[in-house]
Structure 1
């Protein structure tokens, strides 16, 4: 099985990443309803191409991770936060999510961060297992924080030192 190739996002990834997001949409990991045409741009003023690491397998884009600051405060500038991670259904189970998460940790470290955090929905067991296997620990739970598809779902806060 080939190793995923991880690279920094580029403006030309806009369309393929938008399609990927729409293709994998599910309340398993999303807290908003699916986008409807006309679609919002994938890259925004807040999160541009350089805030994304993109995974390729066999030259095809199969996933991404978005890395940002949890707040705009200077007192919080030593922390980075995973603010999105997506893997195409056909590429799951091939180490893409793990490679993206490891690349995000390495990039956060390169940027001088001392800590990395993320939020994950309580019922997203596969993602939670991946994060735990990479050293993330549960640091807090907001019970029933979201109502998704008629069900109340916990928001789980996880983090680790880097």
Structure 2
């Protein structure tokens, strides 16, 4: 194994124990990184990129996931600047920079003059978590999605993604890949739905998971059904089911300006544990 006492290098499978020790410093915030590391064994061909590590006196002190999502891991502003300098030496492959606020800000300040204007920047996102029973009763109609739900679930996923990100996941020929991702989550029993008759009125997914935590994404209620309490009871059900069979802590992050969503999560019992930021290209 290539050793480094100081500086940055790409991590490999032999580094996995040290990487997991690093992420264990905050296993809930780092759930994405843990999920990616354990499912790929830190192999670039499975990562679709690399996991960089920064070392001091031979110890791994920070990391950075560099693929479609660029994610600082246990990185302070100084670490982020070091990773940014390495990133500037290669072509940008990331479509999103996301993670703890201070690290993302430091990274972006360094690369922005060379990487150009971002499509959207969200500097204040609340990272929330719950590790106990929800404060409201779960909706008994919420269940894990099955393959037969795909035809109604897929359009809802596209609608949610477009509303949240500002661009359709189908742009540029991405429909097949996105549909496969939705089907994959169904197959893992990481997708949840609620129907009112034949109408899909609530959905959410687990984006990634580890033994410590599961991160929720894609929470959505059709616009004409919002304000009925569907999301609150639905999220309580998701928390209950995820904690029962996937991981003991449920997390997510939400834009600071999304007051209705933040109110839902507060009513369910989520509490703020960190601040995130996202830069999208």
> In the alignment, what sits opposite 1:61?
200
Q: Which one of 69, 75, 100 corresponds to residue 234 of structure 2?
A: 100
Superposed CA deviations along residues 84-125 of structure 1, whole A, max 9, x for unmatched, are 211111221122211221111111221163211111122211
> In the alignment, what sits opposite 1:159?
none
Q: Name the one with the larger strand percent.
A: 1
Q: How many residues align?
A: 137
Q: Name the one with the larger helix percent.
A: 2
Are 1:133 and 2:267 an aligned pair? yes
TM-score norm. by structure 2 comes to 0.43
Aligned residues: CA RMSD: 2.6
Are 1:48 and 2:211 an aligned pair? no
Structure with larger RCO (C-alpha < 8 A, sep 6+): 2
> In the alignment, what sits opposite 2:152?
16
> Contact (CA 8 Å) 2:253, 2:276: kept in 1 or not?
no
C-alpha distance in structure 1 between counterparts of 2:200 and 2:156, whole Å: 9
Q: 1:48 Cα shift?
A: 2.4
C-alpha distance in structure 2 between counterparts of 1:68 and 1:34, whole Å: 18
TM-score norm. by structure 1 comes to 0.70
Structure 2: unaligned runs, 5 residues or longer: 1-138
Q: 1:43 to 1:119 in 2, by over 3 A?
A: same
Structure 1: unaligned runs, 5 residues or longer: 71-75, 149-162
